[in-house]
Chain A
Amino acid sequence: MTASCNEIEDAIATALNAIDGLRCFTYLPDNFTPPTAIVAVSEVDYHGSFRGGDVPHQIDVMVIVGRASERVAQGLLDDYISYSGPKSVRTVIESDPTLGGVVSTSIVEKAGNMKVLLIAAVPYISVDFSMTVHA
Chain B
Amino acid sequence: MAIQVFTNPKITIGGVDLTNHITQVTLEYVQDAIETTAFGPGNARTYVGGLTVNKFSLTLEQDFAAASVESTIYPLLGTSATVQMLPLNASTSSVNPSYTFSVLVNDWKPMDGKVGDLFVTAATWPITGPITKGTT
Q: How far is the CA of A120 from the CA of B20 in the complex (A)?
A: 47
Candidates B7, B116, B118; contact of A51 at CB < 8 Å? B7
A102 at the interface (CB under 8 A from B): no
Within the complex, the shortest CB–CB distance from A74 to chain B, in Å, comes to: 27
- B20 and A109 contact, CB distance less than 8 A: no
Q: Are the C-beta atoms of A51 and B89 separated by less than 8 Å? A: yes
Asked if A134 contacts B20 (CB within 8 A), the reply is: no
Residues of A within 8 A of B21 (CB): 49, 53-54
Contact partners of B118 in chain A: CB under 8 A: 54, 56, 105, 134
Query: Is B11 in contact with chain A by the CB < 8 A criterion?
Result: yes
List A contacts of B8 (CB < 8 A): 50-51
The distance in angstroms between the C-alpha atoms of A47 and B9, with both chains bound, is 12
Known: A107-B116, A134-B118. A48 touches B23 (CB 8 A): yes
> Which residues 1-38 in B have Cβ within 8 Å of A in the complex?
6-9, 11, 19-23, 25
A residues within 8 A CB of B22?
49-50, 53
With a CB–CB cut-off of 8 A, which chain A residues contact B9?
50-51
The answer for the CA separation of A104 and B121 in the assembled complex, in Å, is 17
Q: Is A52 an interface residue (CB 8 A)?
A: yes
Shortest CB–CB separation between residue B67 and chain A, in angstroms?
A: 14
Residues of B with C-beta under 8 A to A54? 20-21, 23, 61, 118
Asked whether, in the complex, the Cβ of A50 is within 8 Å of the Cβ of B116, the reply is no
Near B by CB (< 8 A), chain A positions 70-121 give 105, 107, 109
Residue ID in chain A nearest B115 by CB atoms? A107
In this complex, what residue of A is CB-closest to B5? A47
Q: What are some 26 contacts across the A-B interface (CB < 8 A)?
A: A47-B7, A48-B23, A48-B61, A49-B20, A49-B22, A50-B6, A50-B8, A50-B20, A50-B22, A50-B23, A50-B25, A51-B8, A51-B9, A51-B19, A51-B20, A51-B89, A53-B20, A53-B21, A53-B61, A54-B20, A54-B21, A54-B61, A54-B118, A56-B118, A109-B116, A134-B118
A residues near B (Cβ < 8 Å) are 47-54, 56, 105, 107, 109, 134
